[in-house]
């Protein structure tokens, strides 16, 4: 059995996520390549959606913080109250190590600054974007 350790930056990112989302459960599962999959449950979705909460998941890869936290995934049954489609940036997919169904949120950070853009700030930005849709 081989064991892959994660970097201090990824460990710090997980700690920051737990501090940023104190009411949620933050789980981490190694990807075997020095990074891992993070799931935060629950997170708020915003007033446009039938569901009030979801989980949000994403992979933090080994090069973090130089690598973007992208894409992110939320519940597969995400549904708008107005019945409209989700539009650009949403896709139904399977994700992660267990091939779970989910809704992919494509929000790439084009000007990633690893000194200020953390996994926690990325999740907060994506949740704000999601709530504004």
- Would you say residue 84 has pLDDT above 70? yes
Confidence band for 107, pLDDT divided at 50, 70 and 90: confident
What pLDDT is recorded for position 1? Answer: 43
Contact status, residue 90 vs residue 126, Cβ threshold 8 Å: no
Q: To the nearest whole number, what is the mean pLDDT of the chain?
A: 93
What average pLDDT does the segment 90-98 reach? 95
pLDDT one-digit tens code per residue, 38-63: 999 999 999 999 999 999 999 999 99
What pLDDT is recorded for position 2? Answer: 44
What average pLDDT does the segment 17-35 reach? 96
Cα–Cα distance, 98 to 116 (Å, whole number) = 31
């Amino acid at each position: 059995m081989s064991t892959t350790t994660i970097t201090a930056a990824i460990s710090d990112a997980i700690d920051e996520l737990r501090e940023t989302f104190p009411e949620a459960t933050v789980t981490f599962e190694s990807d075997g390549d020095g990074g891992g999959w993070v799931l935060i449950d629950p997170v708020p979705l915003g007033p446009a959606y039938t569901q009030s909460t979801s989980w949000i998941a994403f992979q933090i890869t080994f090069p973090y913080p130089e690598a973007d936290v992208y894409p992110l995934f939320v519940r597969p049954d995400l549904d708008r109250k107005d019945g409209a489609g989700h539009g650009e940036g949403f896709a139904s997919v399977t994700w992660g190590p267990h091939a779970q169904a989910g809704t992919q949120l494509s929000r790439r950070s084009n000007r990633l600054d690893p000194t200020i853009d953390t996994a926690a700030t990325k999740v907060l930005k994506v949740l704000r974007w999601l709530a504004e849709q």
